[in-house]
Amino acid sequence: MRVTKLILKDIVKTFELPTIDRSETAKKAAEMMLETHCNHLLVPRHTKHEAYGIVTKKDILAKVIAEGRDLREVKVEDIMSRPLVILTNLSLDIRWVAKAMANSNVSAIVVFDKGDFYGYVTESCIIDGVYNAMRRAKLEEGVDFVSC
Amino acid sequence: MELRDIISKSVPTKVKSDATVADALVAMTENKTDYVLVDRVDSNDAYGIVTRWDIVGKAIAEGEDITKTAAVAVARKPLVVTNNMDLDLRWVAKKMADEGVSKVAVFDREVFLGFVSDLDVIAATLRKHPKEGKEVSA
């Protein structure tokens, strides 16, 4: 059973990420992450000449808490990453999606389809996609899926 | 806020020492967790830990056949551990950032207590500053 049959379009999540303004505090960002159970927040741009940003739980952990700074005083714009890492080829094999994540050392990639926002993909999308593909393959063989 | 206050005594999911990456992936998904422990061969061996990131970045990205690659090949082994229960959360966060991990194993002397994750640290730090409606909406 190979996983290489999966392409980006099979695993991408098409709903939008929660957004947070970059003038908000890191505390607000952490609260939103815990409330929405989403580890990534999109930071919208103010003018169209700017780049979108993204803030993750790793940013909060490594750049605020580990440095002993106060969550209430740090602004999102100080810890966010931008510009985003994006992919535009929806038929890309998930191997190369995984490689793009590993190369850029990010946990979320934003996906555009011909210039329009399409969705995003995280490492858990890849894991879920592979799990479901393995399960389907087993079911097609007529074997009840037995976990280890 | 210290490590002692946030450690959860949950029992981690384990896979056998000869498990493949696919086994680890299935165990992870079915137990709705984001990491699994790879058991040790004997008492002189170390435990390993496999997270979603390990599977994505080291197995799938390299085009490995996940049903053949061993879980230990992508595992972080030995574990990043801490045994100081009085450690301030700031230094737990620093340890995670320095080592590039999201889970730290906590031992009290020889007793394994569980894992503390990056989300636990963030949630605990937030609890230190309870919600103030005005400041958040401002």
Name the pLDDT band for A30 (thresholds 50, 70, 90).
Answer: very high
Q: Do B61 and A98 touch (CB under 8 A)?
A: yes
* Mean pLDDT to the nearest integer, A105-118: 87
pLDDT given for residue A139 in this prediction:
82
Locus of tokens 């741009």 = A45
Percentage helix, strand, coil, to 5, in chain A?
Answer: 40, 20, 40
- Complete DSSP assignment for A49-109: TSPPEEEEHHHHIIIIITTT--TTT-BHHHH-B-SPPEE--TT-BHHHHHHHHHHHT-SEE
What is the nearest CA distance from A59 to chain B, expressed in angstroms?
Answer: 9
Q: List the domain boundaries for chain B.
A: 3-137
Candidate from A66, A123, A148 with C-beta closest to B26:
A148
Is A131 an interface residue toward B (CB < 8 Å)? yes
CATH of B3-137, one of 3.20.20.80, 3.30.420.40, 3.10.580.10, 2.60.120.10: 3.10.580.10
Q: Which residues are bridge partners to B118 per DSSP?
A: none
Q: Identify the residue among A130, A138, A143, A147 best suited for mutation to test binding to B, counting B beta carbons within 10 A and taking the highest.
A: A130
- Distance from B90 to chain A by nearest Cα, in Å? 5
Q: Does B131 touch chain A (CB under 8 A)?
A: yes
pLDDT above 60 for B135: no
Model confidence band, residue B138 (pLDDT cutoffs 50, 70, 90)? very low
pLDDT at B126 over 50: yes
* Euclidean distance between the first and the last CA atom of chain A, given in angstroms as a whole number: 16
For residue A76, the model assigns a pLDDT of: 93
Query: Is B93–A65 a contact, with Cβ atoms under 8 angstroms apart?
Result: yes
A45, burial (CB in 10 Å: exposed 0-12, middle 13-18, buried 19+): middle
Domains and CATH numbers, chain A: 8-140 (3.10.580.10)
Q: What is the pLDDT of residues B17-70, one digit of tens each?
A: 999 999 999 999 999 998 999 998 888 888 899 999 999 999 999 988 899 999
ipTM comes to 0.74
- Residue A126 to residue B56, Cβ atoms within 8 A: yes
